[in-house]
C-alpha cells in the first residue's frame, strides 16, 4: 500500500465527528479534552459519536495548536558503541521509559551521533519536536547543556556537569560518597595496600569516585595507593589490573570505578594466581546485574538508577510546566557487600 492509498483511509477528524453529532468542532474539542462546561447530554452524545466513528485525535495537530508536544528527548552523548553497551546506560533508558508511564509523555531516544556538528541537536530540540531534554552520560567538555539552557529549553542532566552551568538542573548519585564508602569498607576489613582502577578523568562520575576514595583513605590515615586509569570497559579493566600488579605486587585490595572494569580485574587476578578475596579484595561500582553473577560475586556500590530516572523526569516535567530548574539533587548510594571483599 502506498502512502497515497493509505491516505484514502484517512481517519475521521474533529469535523467529521462534529458533523455527525450535529455540534460544532469546538464542542467536540471540549469533550475530548474534558474541559470546561459541556452539558451532560451533549457530552454523552459526542462521546457516543466518537466511539461509533472510531475517532482518535491527531496528536500532531494538537501539538501545533497547543505549542506542546508531550514528549521529551533522552539524549545519549556517547558516540562510541562500546560505551553504549554499558549496562548502566541501558538501565537508565529502561528506567526513564518506565518513569514516564502514565504521564502521557512520550520518550524520544536521540543518539548523540545524530549530531555531527554541535548545534544540530540543539536545533532539533528547538524545532519543537520535544518539550524538554534529558541528558545522560555526558562528558566534561560537552557544550550542549549550556546551549540548551541558553535556548531556554527545559533540561535535566543525569550526573554532575564538569563546570556549573547557572540554571541547569541535574540529578547525580553521590559518587564522592560512594568512593569513600568503598575505601572505608576495604580499610575496615583490614586492607592496607589498596589500589584503584579509575574511570576516564573527563567524566565527572569517575573523577568524583576517585576523590571519595582518596578521602576515605586519607581519613583512615593511609597513603594513597597506585592508580591506573581505564575507560569503563572490561578490557581496560584487565589492562589496568595488569599494570597495577606490576607496579604494586603486594597490593591487597582494588577499588574499580565500575563493575565492568572490576570484572576485568577479577580475571587478571585469577590468572595471576591471586585468590579473591583472600589475597586481594575487590570492590566494583554500579552494582549491575553482572556483579552478582561473577565468581566470586562482586561487592559493589549500588546506585539508585530508577530513583535517578524518576527524579530526572519529575524535575523535567515540572520545568516544562513552568517551574524554575531548581537545585541539583544528590542521591545516596550504598555498598552491597558480596564475596569479593
* Residue 93 lies near a second copy (rule: CB under 8 A): yes
Residue 34 contact, options DNA, a second copy, none, Cβ 5-8 Å cut-off depending on partner type:
none
**Closest distance between DNA and the C-beta of residue 260, in Å?**
44
CA separation for the pair 241, 236 (Å, rounded):
9
Using CB under 8 A, pick the residue from 15, 44, 80, 114 that binds a second copy: 114
Which helix H or strand E contains 195, and what residues bound it? strand 194-198
Question: Which residues in the 65-84 window bind DNA by CB under 7 A?
Answer: 65-67
CA distance 167 to 246: 46
Collapse the DSSP code of 186 into the 3-class scheme (helix H, G, I; strand E, B; otherwise coil) and give the result.
helix
From candidates 44, 48, 52, 61, binder to DNA by CB under 7 A: 61
Q: Is 280 in the site for DNA (CB under 7 A)?
A: no
Stretch that binds a second copy, among 70-78, 156-164, 180-188, 211-219 (CB under 8 A): 70-78
Q: SS3 for 283?
A: strand
Nearest to 25 by CA among 60, 50, 59: 50
* β-pairing verdict for 299-302 and 334-336: antiparallel
Can residue 32 be called a binding residue for DNA (CB under 7 A)? yes
Between 123 and 202, name the residue whose CB sits nearer to DNA.
123
41 binds a second copy (CB under 8 A): no
Beta carbons of 252 and 275 less than 8 angstroms apart: no
When CB distances are held under 5 to 8 angstroms depending on the partner's kind, the choice from DNA, a second copy, none that residue 166 binds is none
**In angstroms, what is the minimal distance from the CB of 129 to DNA?**
12
Residue 275, number of CB atoms within 10 A of its CB: 10
Contacts of residues 15-22 at CB distance under 8 Å and 24 or more positions apart, as own/partner, are 16/53, 16/55, 17/46, 17/49, 17/50, 17/53, 17/55, 20/49, 20/52, 20/53, 21/45, 21/46, 21/49
What are the residues whose beta carbons fall under 8 Å from the beta carbon of 171, sequence distance 6 or more?
Answer: 156, 157, 158, 159, 308, 311, 312, 315, 328, 329, 331
For residue 47, the minimal CB distance to DNA (Å) is 12
**What does the per-residue mask of binding to a second copy show for 222-241, with x meaning CB under 8 A?**
------------x-------
Going residue by residue from 183 to 222, which x/- string records binding to a second copy, judged by CB under 8 A? ----------------------------------------
Contacts (CB under 8 A) with a second copy, residues 270-299: 270, 289-290, 293-295
Q: Closest Cα partner for 183 from 96, 299, 64, 42?
A: 299
Give the one residue of 20, 21, 100, 240 binding a second copy; rule: CB under 8 A.
100
With contacts defined by CB under 8 A, name the span among 91-99, 140-148, 174-182, 184-192 that binds a second copy.
Answer: 91-99
Give the count of residues interacting with DNA (CB under 7 A): 30
Copy the grid coordinates of residue 20.
455527525
Nearest to 302 by CA among 174, 160, 159: 174
- The DSSP output letter for 110 is E
CB of 66 to DNA, least distance (A): 5
Q: Check if the beta carbon of residue 160 is closer than 8 Å to that of residue 148.
A: no
State the residues that interact with DNA by CB under 7 A.
10, 13-15, 22-27, 29-30, 32-33, 35-39, 41-42, 55, 57-58, 61-62, 64-67
State the residues that interact with a second copy by CB under 8 A.
1-4, 6-7, 9, 11, 56-61, 63-64, 67-69, 71, 74, 76, 81, 84-85, 87, 90-91, 93-94, 97-98, 100-102, 106-111, 113-114, 123-124, 126-129, 152, 234, 263, 267, 270, 289-290, 293-295, 320-322, 324
Amino acid at each position: 500500500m502506498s502512502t497515497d492509498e493509505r491516505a484514502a483511509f484517512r481517519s475521521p477528524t474533529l469535523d467529521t465527528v462534529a458533523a455527525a453529532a450535529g455540534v460544532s468542532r469546538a464542542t467536540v474539542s471540549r469533550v475530548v479534552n474534558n474541559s470546561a462546561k459541556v452539558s451532560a447530554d451533549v457530552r454523552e452524545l459526542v462521546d457516543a459519536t466518537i466511539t461509533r466513528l472510531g475517532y482518535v485525535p491527531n496528536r500532531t495537530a494538537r501539538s501545533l495548536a497547543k505549542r506542546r508536544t508531550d514528549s521529551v528527548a533522552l539524549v545519549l552523548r556517547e558516540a562510541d558503541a562500546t560505551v553504549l553497551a554499558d549496562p548502566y546506560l541501558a538501565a537508565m533508558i529502561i528506567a526513564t521509559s518506565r518513569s514516564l508511564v502514565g504521564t502521557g509523555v512520550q520518550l524520544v531516544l536521540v543518539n548523540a551521533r545524530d549530531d555531527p556538528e554541535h548545534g544540530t541537536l540543539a536545533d532539533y530540540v528547538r524545532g519543537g519536536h520535544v518539550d524538554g531534554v534529558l541528558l545522560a552520560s555526558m562528558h566534561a567538555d560537552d557544550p550542549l547543556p549550556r546551549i540548551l539552557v541558553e535556548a531556554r529549553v527545559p533540561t535535566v542532566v543525569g550526573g554532575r556537569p564538569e563546570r556549573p552551568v547557572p540554571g541547569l538542573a541535574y540529578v547525580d548519585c553521590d559518587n564522592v560518597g560512594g568512593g569513600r564508602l568503598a575505601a572505608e569498607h576495604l580499610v575496615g576489613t583490614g586492607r592496607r595496600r589498596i589500589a584503584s582502577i579509575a574511570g576516564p578523568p573527563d567524566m565527572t562520575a569517575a573523577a568524583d569516585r576517585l576523590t571519595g576514595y582518596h578521602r576515605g583513605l586519607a581519613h583512615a590515615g593511609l597513603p594513597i595507593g597506585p592508580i591506573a586509569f581505564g575507560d569503563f570497559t572490561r578490557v581496560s579493566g584487565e589492562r589496568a589490573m595488569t599494570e597495577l600488579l606490576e607496579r604494586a605486587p603486594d597490593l591487597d585490595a582494588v577499588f574499580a570505578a565500575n563493575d565492568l572494569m572490576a570484572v576485568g580485574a577479577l580475571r587478571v587476578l585469577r590468572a595471576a594466581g591471586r585468590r579473591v578475596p583472600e589475597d586481594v579484595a575487590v570492590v566494583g561500582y554500579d552494582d549491575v546485574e553482572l556483579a552478582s553473577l561473577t565468581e566470586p560475586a562482586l561487592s559493589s556500590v549500588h546506585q539508585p538508577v530508577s530513583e535517578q530516572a524518576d527524579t530526572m523526569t519529575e524535575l523535567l516535567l515540572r520545568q516544562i510546566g513552568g517551574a524554575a530548574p531548581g537545585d541539583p539533587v544528590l542521591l545516596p548510594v550504598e555498598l552491597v557487600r558480596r564475596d569479593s571483599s
